[in-house]
Structure formats: structure tokens, C-alpha cells
Amino acid sequence: MEKAERITHTPRITRIEKGVVETATIKSIFFNDEPSSKADPGQFLMVWIPGLDEIPMSVSYTSEDGSAAISVKMVGTATNTLYFRKTGQPIGVRGPYGRGFSLTNGKRALIVSGGSGGAPLGPLSDLLARSGRDFTVVVGAPVTGELLFLDRFKLNAQMAGGKVIPVTEDGAYGVKGLASEVAETELKENGYDIVYTCGPEPMIKRILDLALEHSVPIQASLERIMKCGIGICGSCIIDSYRVCKEGPVFDGETLKEMKELNMTRRDHSGRPTPI
């Protein structure tokens, strides 16, 4: 094993530097860890909560000063505990793992973000802005208070001459409806060279169908229960792909062959269950 690979796989204990409340249920947790600070957009960490569990989390912020962050949505025991961890408390991290998003030659990108799916798309928008790409972000959530990274997306899109379209299901802010409905209009009315997406799997499936219909390349980040995070245990399998190793970001050609996409996922015991 080469030195860089050894560092990636070695669990590292770090301390929480600060927590930033992002939405009503999502908090970003900042910490110092050199390897995490070099993660590509879309890569993830296996985050250890001492005495409890180890769970996959996208790297949601990176910085040249060696710090990084994850943005945690409270959905169960591990995420609730992580959310309420305090500044100075330890967490463990290993990684970054997996294949992230890649920039393409095309100039105009459409980002479609659903709920906590914005976590890997925030750093992607940072990268697109830095590289001077023109992009639109459709950012959706059930209610206004759950729109993740709205200001960050706005700032980045403005830098690149792009725009952000907020979408809420109750219509209290931005367009009323679903992010996929707004993405459909964007793809019909404005030409895009690439679509990037992450969010609930029904949304991802709809965006995939739209991208294929409009012959636009797409990259989507998928979620599955992960145990090892390094391709050994098989808990994250979708069709013949390991989400932790061949993903979590997959291209349209691969996604369209996945029969389990938006159909089944494995539960904690490894049994396929309907989505």
C-alpha cells in the first residue's frame, strides 16, 4: 500500500472546531483534517461517532488551511448524536473515499439539489465558480427553512454569471413545486452541457430520465447503507456496482443500466427492500 493510500485508510481522531446551523435539521460540523481538506467534490468520509457508529458523510466544505466539514441531517441515532456533538468533542474520520463529480468540457452546467443532497453539491459549485463555468442551481426542499446552501449557491452562481432557482413544495419561497419540475423547464428552454444532481432517489431517477430525453450528460451521487466504505462488505451494492467504490457519483450511461435505481436498496442486514 502506498503512503497516501495508507493515510486515507487510517482512522484519524480530530476535534470539532465549530458547528454551523444550515437549515432546521442540518448542521455543518467543521474540523481539521488534511486528507479531508483535499477531497474532491462528491467524495465522502466514514465518520466515527465514538461508542456509537460509523456512517458515510459527504465532504461539504474544504479549505486550503487543512480544515473541512460535513453537513449532517438528523434522520436517526447516529446523525442525531453527531448533530448535537459540541465544539471540542472528538470524532473519527477515514477517507476521503469514492469517485466524486468531474468537470467536463461543456460550459453550461445545471445543478439540481434536493434536501440534504446539497451536501456534495456545495463544494461542486465552489469548484465550478473557481473555474469560471456558467451554471444554474435548482435548489429544492419541502419548506423554506430546509433549502440547503442557498446563499452559498447564490454567491457562487453570481461569480460565474449564473442563477439560482429556489423551489419549495409549499410555495412559501421561490417556485412552488418540485425541483425536478423546474429542472424539466430549464432543460427544455435553456441549453445545458451537463447536469449534476443529488437528493432523494425518486428525484434523481426523474432527472436522469429528463437528461436522457434531452441528450444531456448527467452525473448523480447515490446513497446506500455503507459499512466498510472501501468495497469489501457488499452492503452498498446497487445492481453490480459498489456505491462506495465505483460511486457514489455515477454517469448517465451507468445509471440507465441500473435496474435497482429507485426500486430497491439493502437494509442494515443486507436484505433488499423496496425504496
Task: Kindly list the residues in this chain that would bind ligand FES in the complex (CB under 6 A).
Answer: 226-229, 231-236, 242, 244
HEC sequence for the chain: CCHHHHHHHCCEEEEEEEEEECCCCEEEEEEECHHHHCCCCCCEEEEEECCCEEEEEEEEEECCCCEEEEEEECCCHHHHHHHCCCCCCEEEEEEEECECCCCCCCCEEEEEEEHHHHHHHHHHHHHHHHCCCEEEEEEEECCHHHCCCHHHHHHHHHHCCCEEEEEECCCCCCEECCHHHHHHHHHHHCCCCEEEEECCHHHHHHHHHHHHHCCCCEEEECCCCCCCCCCCCCCCEECCEECCCCCEEEEHHHHCCCCCCCCEEECCCCCEEEC
Task: Give the nearer residue to ligand FES in terms of CB position, either 211 or 238.
Answer: 238
22 binds ligand FAD, rule: CB under 6 A? no
71 binds ligand FAD, rule: CB under 6 A? yes
From ligand FAD, ligand FES, none, interface partner of 174 (C-beta below 5 to 8 A by class): none
CA distance 97 to 43: 6
Among the listed ranges 74-82, 132-140, 151-159, 174-182, the one in contact with ligand FAD (CB under 6 A) is 74-82
Q: Count CB atoms within 10 A of the CB of residue 75.
A: 11
Give min distance, CB of 235 to ligand FES, in A: 5
Task: Give the nearer residue to ligand FAD in terms of CB position, either 74 or 103.
Answer: 74
Which position has the grid cell 446497487? 238
CA distance 144 to 94: 33
Binder among 16, 39, 55, 139 for ligand FAD (CB under 6 A): 55
CA distance 115 to 126: 18
Q: Within 98-127, which residues bind ligand FAD (CB under 6 A)?
A: 116, 119
Give min distance, CB of 205 to ligand FES, in A: 21
How many of the chain's residues bind ligand FAD (CB under 6 A)?
23
From ligand FES, ligand FAD, none, interface partner of 231 (C-beta below 5 to 8 A by class): ligand FES
CA distance 179 to 40: 25
Give min distance, CB of 104 to ligand FES, in A: 26
Give min distance, CB of 90 to ligand FAD, in A: 18
From ligand FES, ligand FAD, none, interface partner of 248 (C-beta below 5 to 8 A by class): ligand FAD
Binder among 175, 225, 228, 233 for ligand FAD (CB under 6 A): 225
Alpha-carbon 113 to chain mean position:
9
Give min distance, CB of 231 to ligand FES, in A: 5
Q: Within 185-204, which residues bind ligand FAD (CB under 6 A)?
A: none
Give min distance, CB of 128 to ligand FAD, in A: 19
Among the listed ranges 6-14, 57-65, 130-138, 149-157, the one in contact with ligand FAD (CB under 6 A) is 57-65
- Which residues contribute to the site for ligand FAD (CB under 6 A)? 44, 53, 55-58, 60, 70-73, 75-79, 116, 119, 223-226, 248
